[in-house]
Amino acid sequence: MAEATSVRPLSAETIDTWNYEADVVIAGYGVAGASAAVEAARAGAEVLVLERAGGWGGAASLAGGFIYLGGGTALQKALGFEDTPANMKTFMMAALGPGADEEKITDYCEGSADHYNWLVECGVPFKESFYGQPGWETPFDDGLMYSGGENSAPFSTIATPAPRGHIPQMADKKVGEKGGGYMLMKPLVDTATALGVQAQYDMRVQTLITDASGRVVGVQAKQYGKDVFVRARKGVVLATGSFAYNKEMVESFAPRLIGRPGAAIEEHDGRAIRMAQALGADLAHMDATEVAFFGDPQMMVRGILVNGRGQRYVNEDTYPGRIGQLTLLQNDNQAYLIIDEEAYEEANTTPTSTPFFRFQPKWVAETVEELESEMGLPEGTLQATVEVYNKHAASGQDPVLGKKSEWVKPIGSPVAALDLRNFTAGFTLGGLRTNTDSEVLHVSGDPIPGLFAAGRCTAGVCAWGYASGTSLGDGSFFGRRAGISAARG
């Protein structure tokens, strides 16, 4: 591989020969790039996508495929769930902040039902069935589930719960198989291709090219190790994903993720963010991170999660990503699951349990006192936690953290503890600051002419919190905007 070039912008005057040329040049063929390509092509632009890997897909095609949509989508309605843009916004502002971008979220919620129709019209299949069990993903091919803790404390009392995780259907999917993301990406790329969108692969973008006025007019890339210059007559769209695999950027901005990138791909090197920063682009929410937690949701709801001091800190029936964030970011990545034998067996024999997440207990004892001692927790700590929990659980209540009654049951004997310390991984949510037209904003507040961006190289609807589907959601939603804006030029 040829050595990387500086991220400092090049002057168009210095380019003798343009190797490729199009109206709209898109860096990255994941969900944001594909959505931008479709809309730019529909607006009449000649579109060229530059993809670093050997084929389209990005992180999206490897993902579960959740797209966070609501406000009354056709699927929500068909399955009997009521939702409005205002209700969706209330949830998103509460769950995705502090500091969430209200303008972006308002726009996203108001356009969400239409965005669902757009995806369907592009050929993305959604099965009309709802999955109501706790879990990261449906083990089947259901089209809808809760994906951000909407129906759990504290959000269930802030906004009317509605499931918004829309999952593309993988035909003939077997239990535990992945694939929703592929069934999102394939139709989008097919749609783009049918519209005449061209793609070049093994294209590592290196830096932006500007004209004398400062307008972005192209991209320099390495293709098969050689420098190539790509001219964009109308605009460049950056859609190259997060910076989860850029060690220096993670250390600088999201150091709790050092050594634990997850649900991202090595291509997520932050390069496009750097290229735009070199033009004075602004950033936002660089510390925000999605955090996956590898405890079995079916098991977690049937026990209690405690931190390194033996204290509960989260209602176990919430979105597992929220458990991950609270564990890594607020409890030093220390977590144990306390569960009695009966609940453990029940969780393991539930048909919807995910084998991938099944772990053996590390400690087992007849009493909580013994368990506490075996775990090395200070005397009395875990006992106090279980005693308070059991006292209220006897009447099906959890006044401390608000777990739903259906999952609240006193912890009996024998009792076990699963060691879930350092059991997290995640990807970054911060990036370039963009407006709702997906224009990249200069630190002066004005857009940088000719430059657009969407997906995880931008700060989207998430500021600190997360819900599954918000990445493919804002990536596709604001990817479309980027395509429309770039085609306008």
Encoded amino acid at 253, one letter = F
Q: Tokens 């879990």 appear where?
A: 135
Residue closer to a second copy by CB (options 121, 387) is 387
Q: Among residues 1 and 212, whose Cβ is nearest to a second copy?
A: 212
Give the residue with the Cβ less far from a second copy, 48 or 272: 272
Residue number, 76 or 438, with CB nearest to a second copy: 438
Q: Which of 283, 364 has the CB closer to a second copy?
A: 283
Counting beta carbons within 10 angstroms of the beta carbon of residue 163, is it exposed (0 to 12), middle (13 to 18) or buried (19 or more)?
A: buried
Judged by beta carbon, residue 27 or residue 113, the one nearer a second copy is: 27
DSSP H or E stretch at residue 482: helix 470-488
Minimum Å gap between C-beta 265 and a second copy is 22
Query: In whole angstroms, how close is the CB of 320 to a second copy at the nearest point?
Result: 20
**From CA 44, how far away is CA 488, in angstroms rounded?**
9
Shortest distance, position 90 Cβ to a second copy, whole Å: 18
C-alpha–C-alpha distance, residues 435 and 437, integer Å: 5
Nearest approach, Cβ of residue 377 and a second copy (Å): 9
Shortest reach from residue 156's CB to a second copy, in Å: 18
Structure-block tokens of residue 186: 């394939």
Between residues 279 and 440, which has the closer beta carbon with respect to a second copy?
Answer: 279
Shortest Å, Cβ 280 to a second copy: 4
Dihedrals φ, ψ of 11, to 5°? -90, 130
Closest distance between a second copy and the C-beta of residue 114, in Å?
28
At position 10, the amino acid (one-letter code) is: L
For a second copy, the binding residues (CB under 8 A) are 6-8, 97-99, 251-253, 255-256, 258, 274, 277-280, 282-287, 309, 311-313, 329-331, 378-381, 384-385, 387-388, 391-392, 399-401, 433, 442-444, 446, 459, 463-464
Contacts 24+ apart (CB under 8 A), 71-76: 71/109, 71/110, 71/112, 71/113, 72/113, 73/112, 73/113, 73/116, 73/117, 73/166, 74/113, 74/116, 74/117, 74/120, 75/116, 75/126, 75/128, 75/143, 75/144, 75/166, 76/144, 76/162, 76/163, 76/164
